[in-house]
């Protein structure tokens, strides 16, 4: 992310944990830009509050337009599955209370590999560039 300066010669993995508060009030494209800028800098981006379905749909679309051979292969994204109690009821959606409080992990496809995933655990292997 913008302020996070990391020395060019280090080969560590940078993780950006973005709070719900920081995302709040941003437009869909601002959120997507923030995510993809981070991922394209080879960072792992973790969102405290996830994206709405519509934002996810646009994230896939914008990701596709940015893929280019030998440079950017796209993203790996994981979220906890929404609970079966399903808060995205029609009423909830009509009231604009879409359930987006799902931790979301996004990283460069060529650097992050999901090892295991279930309702309560995401285990991922992150390799250095």
Partner 1 sequence: MGLFTELKDSISRAASTLFSEEDPKRIGIYGPPNAGKTTLANRIARDWTGDAVGPESHIPHETRRARRKENVEIERDGKKVTIDIVDTPGVTTKVDYTEFLEHDMEKDDAVRRSREATEGVAEAMHWLREDVDGVIYVLDSTEDPFTQVNTMLIGIIESQDLPVLILANKIDLEESSVQRIRNAFPQHETTELSALEGDNMDEVYDQIAEYFG
Residues in contact with partner 1 by CB under 8 A are: 52-54, 56-58, 60-61, 63-65, 67, 69, 73-79, 81-82, 84, 86, 88, 90, 93, 98, 109-110, 117
Question: How many whole angstroms from its chain centre is CA 72?
Answer: 16
State the Cα–Cα distance between residues 99 and 102, nearest whole angstrom.
8
* Contact (Cβ atoms closer than 8 angstroms) between residue 44 and residue 109: no
* Beta carbon of residue 24, minimum distance to partner 1 (angstroms, whole number): 20
Closest to partner 1 by CB, 40 or 58: 58
* Beta carbon of residue 69, minimum distance to partner 1 (angstroms, whole number): 5
Closest to partner 1 by CB, 4 or 29: 29
Closest to partner 1 by CB, 16 or 55: 55
* Contact (Cβ atoms closer than 8 angstroms) between residue 46 and residue 4: no
Nearest partner of 102 among 49, 46, 44, 23, judged by Cα: 49
């Amino acid at each position: 992310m913008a302020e996070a300066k990391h020395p060019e010669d280090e080969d560590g993995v940078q993780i950006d944990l973005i709070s719900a508060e920081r995302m709040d009030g941003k437009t869909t494209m601002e959120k997507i830009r923030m995510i993809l800028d981070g991922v394209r800098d080879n960072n792992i981006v973790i969102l405290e509050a996830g994206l709405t379905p519509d934002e996810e749909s646009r994230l896939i679309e914008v990701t596709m337009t940015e893929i280019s051979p030998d440079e950017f292969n796209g993203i790996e994204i994981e979220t906890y599955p929404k609970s079966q109690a399903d808060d995205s009821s029609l009423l909830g959606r009509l009231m604009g209370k879409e359930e987006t409080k799902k931790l979301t992990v996004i990283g460069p496809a060529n650097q992050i590999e999901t090892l295991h995933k279930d309702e309560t655990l995401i285990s991922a292997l992150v390799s250095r560039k």
